[in-house]
Amino acid sequence: MKYGAQNKIMAKVKSVKTGDIMSQVKFDVSVPVEMSSVLTTDSVKDLDLKAGDSVQLIIKAIHVLPVKE
Amino acid sequence: MKYGAQNKIMAKVKSVKTGDIMSQVKFDVSVPVEMSSVLTTDSVKDLDLKAGDSVQLIIKAIHVLPVKE
Amino acid sequence: MKYGAQNKIMAKVKSVKTGDIMSQVKFDVSVPVEMSSVLTTDSVKDLDLKAGDSVQLIIKAIHVLPVKE
Amino acid sequence: MKYGAQNKIMAKVKSVKTGDIMSQVKFDVSVPVEMSSVLTTDSVKDLDLKAGDSVQLIIKAIHVLPVKE
Amino acid sequence: MKYGAQNKIMAKVKSVKTGDIMSQVKFDVSVPVEMSSVLTTDSVKDLDLKAGDSVQLIIKAIHVLPVKE
Amino acid sequence: MKYGAQNKIMAKVKSVKTGDIMSQVKFDVSVPVEMSSVLTTDSVKDLDLKAGDSVQLIIKAIHVLPVKE
C-alpha cells in the first residue's frame, strides 16, 4: 500500500476520546522521523529557511489521518 | 507564543527545494513526540481504534506549517 | 458562479446528523465524476502513478464543502 | 487496510502532469459513491440542509489523497 | 448560493502569478470582517481564549478558495 | 516568530463556544488585510482571474489557526 503523501509516521494509540460527531485520538511516536512541508516559495523566503535551522512544525489534529492494517 | 493546534513538533531543516510557486522543505525530527488526530466518531468505530493499537499517521506535506523564531 | 477548485461533484443529501459544534452530512453521488488530486512530484514518483492505474482516493470529510443554490 | 476518513473512492488514473514541486493527477470515477462532509452546525443551519436537497460538493485537489496497492 | 463554510470574505484580486501546476493569487480585503475558527477544545484551553483577547489568525494560502460570479 | 503561511490576520476574540471535542471561536477583524490563495493553474484559467476582479474568499473554519502571544 502506497500513499500519495510525504509524511508517514509509525505510532501507537495512547487514548481515544469519543464525541458526538468528532473524536480525538492521541498517539505516541517513539522513533525519529523525517517530515516534509510544502509551502509557498514566498513563505520560504520570508522565513529564510536553510539546512540546519531549528523550527517548530505545527499541524492541526484534523489534518492527521490514521491508517490501521 | 501559543498555537491553536495539537501537534507542535521540534525539527531541524534538512533540505529546501525551491519551485516557481511552491517549495518543499524536509526536516529531521529526533525526539519522541506525542501526536493527536481528530476524525469522525464513525471513522474511529470503523478502525476500532483503542489504546495500544499500532497505526500509521498520514499527513500531506501541504498541511505542515513551519514556524521559526 | 465559478469555484477555484478542481472537484465539483453534484450530490443529493441522504442524512444530516447534528452535533454540538460540528455536524455530519452524508450524500449520494449517482453520476460518474472526474476528480483531480494535487500532490508532491516526489509522491507521484513513489506511487509510480500512470494512466490506467487503479487507486483509491481518500478524502477526510472535513475537506468536503457543500454549496447549495 | 482501514483509513480514518469517511470518503474512499475507487478511481482510475486518466492523466498525470508533473511539475517542479507539485504534480496534478486526474482520475475517472465510474461507480456511484456515497460521500460525507463535516461542517459546523452553524453552517448546516445557514444552508438549511435536509435529506433530498441537491448540492454541489467542492473539494480542492490538494485535499485528495491517492492510495495505490 | 450558500456555502457550507463560516468564512466568506469579499475581496479584490491584486495580482496573479502563474506557475506550472499551482498559481498564487493576492487579494485586497478592505472592509472589516468577522472570522471563525474551529479547533479542539483542548487547544482552546491551552490558549485560554476568551472574549477580548488579541490573536493572530494564520491560514495557509492553499486553504483559501476563491469564488467568482 | 515567523510563520510559513501567507495569511496572518490580526483579530480580536468575540465569542467562544465550547463543545465536547471541538470548539468554535468567532473573531472581529477591523483592519484591512491582504490575503493570498494558492490554487491550480487550471482553476485560475477556469475563473479567468485577473487584477481588479471581485471575488469571494471561502475558508472553512477548521483551517483557521489562532495564535496568541
Span C9-28, pLDDT tens digits: 999 999 999 999 999 999 99
Contacts of C2 in chain E (CB under 8 A): 67-69
Please check whether residue B2 lies inside any domain of the structure. no
* Percentage, residues of chain A above pLDDT 70: 100
Please check whether residue E5 lies inside any domain of the structure. no
Contact at CB, B3 and F69, closer than 8 angstroms: no
pLDDT of residue B25: 98
Contact at CB, C12 and D67, closer than 8 angstroms: no
* Beta carbon pairs, A and F, within 8 Å: 35
Cβ neighbours of C30 (radius 10 Å): 10
Please check whether residue B5 lies inside any domain of the structure. no
Contact at CB, F42 and C6, closer than 8 angstroms: yes
pLDDT of residue E53: 98
Contact at CB, A44 and F6, closer than 8 angstroms: no
Mean of per-residue pLDDT scores for chain C: 96
Contact at CB, A43 and F4, closer than 8 angstroms: yes
Cβ contacts of residue E25 below 8 Å, gap of 6+?
Answer: E13, E15, E16, E17, E66, F36, F37, F38, F39, F44, F49
Contact at CB, E49 and B5, closer than 8 angstroms: no
Which chain D residues have any C-beta within 8 angstroms of a chain B C-beta? 2-6, 19-22, 36, 38, 62-63, 65
The closest CB to that of A38, out of C40, C46, C62, belongs to: C40
Three-state SS for F56? strand
Contact at CB, A40 and F2, closer than 8 angstroms: no
Q: Which of A21, A36, A40, A50 to mutate to test the interface with B (most CBs of B within 10 A)?
A: A36
Please check whether residue A4 lies inside any domain of the structure. no
Summarised one tens digit per residue, pLDDT across range B23-48 is 999 999 988 899 999 999 999 999 99
Contacts of C58 in chain D (CB under 8 A): 3, 5, 7-8, 64-67
Three-state SS for C26? strand
Contact call for residues D19 and E19 (beta carbons, < 8 A): yes
pLDDT of residue D69: 85
CA-based torsion, B37, B43, B46, B48: positive or negative: positive
ipTM of the modeled complex = 0.96
Got the DSSP string for B8-55?
EEEEEEEEEEE-SSEEEEEEEE-S-EEEEEEEEHHHHHHHT--TT-EE
pLDDT, one tens digit for every residue, chain F (69 residues) = 899 999 999 999 999 999 999 999 999 998 889 999 999 999 999 999 999 999 999 999 999 999 998
3-state helix, strand, coil in chain F (%, to 5): 15, 60, 30
Please check whether residue B52 lies inside any domain of the structure. yes
Cβ contacts of residue C59 below 8 Å, gap of 6+?
Answer: D5, D6, D7, D9, D35, D59, D63, D64, D65
Query: CA–CA separation, B31 vs B39, rounded Å?
Result: 25
Contact call for residues E4 and F38 (beta carbons, < 8 A): no
Please check whether residue D1 lies inside any domain of the structure. no
Residue with cell 447534528: C18
Three-state SS for E67? strand
Mean pLDDT (whole number) for C19-42: 96
Please check whether residue B59 lies inside any domain of the structure. yes
Mean of per-residue pLDDT scores for chain A: 96
Task: Give chains near E: 3+ CB pairs under 8 A.
Answer: A, B, C, D, F
* Alpha-helix runs per DSSP H in chain E: 41-47
Closest approach of C20 to chain A, Cα-based (Å):
8
User: Within chain C, what is the greatest distance between any pair of CA atoms?
Assistant: 44
Contacts of B2 in chain A (CB under 8 A): none
H/E stretch holding E7 reads strand E7-18
Task: Give chains near F: 3+ CB pairs under 8 A.
Answer: A, B, C, D, E
Contacts of B6 in chain E (CB under 8 A): 40, 42-43
Structural domain including E21 reads 12-63
Chain B residue with CA closest to F6: the answer is B65
pLDDT over 90 (residue B3): yes
Cβ contacts of residue A21 below 8 Å, gap of 6+?
Answer: B40, B41, C17, C19, C20, C21, C22, C23, C24, D38, F21
Q: Which of C8, C12, C39, C42 to mutate to test the interface with D (most CBs of D within 10 A)?
A: C39
pLDDT over 90 (residue D2): yes
Summarised one tens digit per residue, pLDDT across range F21-32 is 999 999 999 888
Compute φ and ψ for F19, nearest 5 degrees: -115, -175
Contacts of C20 in chain F (CB under 8 A): 19-20
H/E stretch holding A16 reads strand A7-18
pLDDT of residue C39: 98
Contact at CB, D3 and C52, closer than 8 angstroms: no
Three-state SS for E68? strand
pLDDT of residue A1: 85
Question: Could you give the number of structural domains in chain C?
Answer: 1
Summarised one tens digit per residue, pLDDT across range E10-60 is 999 999 999 999 999 999 998 889 999 999 999 999 999 999 999 999 999
